[in-house]
Amino acid sequence: MSVFRGIAHVYGDNIDTDRIIPGKYTKTLDAQTLAAHVLEDLDPNFASRVRPGDVFVAGYHFGAGSSREQAAIALKVAGISVVIARSFAGIFYRNAINIGLPLVEAPDHAILDGHCVWVDLEQGLVVDETSGCVYRSARMPPVMVAILRAGGLVNYLRQYGDYEMECAAT
């Protein structure tokens, strides 16, 4: 689960959850419907252009706003393998981990659209293969690594039945 490689789709700062998936599309339990409308007001071509394994790259405060987990689900089901941003909004960050969408915070990245990028989550490394630049990210808390490793919080709790104290230790 820890290494990803794909083509970058680069967007800007403050992309909020209403942009990722507007409220009017969230009233469904069908993940494919969410993916079909992902980011449509920001970039109407995004859903048709994204390929499985692609990398989503954003600026500051990605996922600001609503608690709607549908935003993270829409990105994941559309094919995004990992999201890189300068910073993430708190609820979005947790939601993504909980549904098994890996994230990495790289405050100083200069990744450009179309670049080939790989990410090593365990090492906290982001490498822009096209430009040759390497970025480091803060380490993810152990409890998050454990949830992500299980494939999300549903699988984690199926496996452990409860939160494990040793996973939470810093």
Interface with other proteins by CB under 8 A: which residues?
14, 16, 18-19, 22-24, 26-29, 41, 60-61, 64-70, 72, 87, 89-91, 94-95, 98-99, 141-143, 152-154, 157-158, 162-163, 165, 168-170
From the CB of 102, what's the least distance to other proteins, in Å? Answer: 15
How is 37-91 classified by DSSP, letter by letter? TTTTTT-TTHHHH--TT-EEEE-SSBTBS---THHHHHHHHHT--EEEES-B-HH
- Calculate helix-pair angle for 90-98, 70-78, nearest 10 degrees: 50
Q: Is 14 left (phi over 0), alpha (psi -120 to 50) or beta?
A: left
Beta strands in 115-157 (DSSP E): 116-120, 125-128, 133-136
Is 6 or 94 the residue whose CB approaches other proteins more closely?
A: 94
From the CB of 61, what's the least distance to other proteins, in Å? Answer: 4
Is 134 or 169 the residue whose CB approaches other proteins more closely?
A: 169
Is 117 or 147 the residue whose CB approaches other proteins more closely?
A: 147
From the CB of 67, what's the least distance to other proteins, in Å? Answer: 4
Which of 147, 152, 153, 151 shows the shortest CA–CA distance to 167? 147
From the CB of 92, what's the least distance to other proteins, in Å? Answer: 8
Is 18 or 127 the residue whose CB approaches other proteins more closely?
A: 18
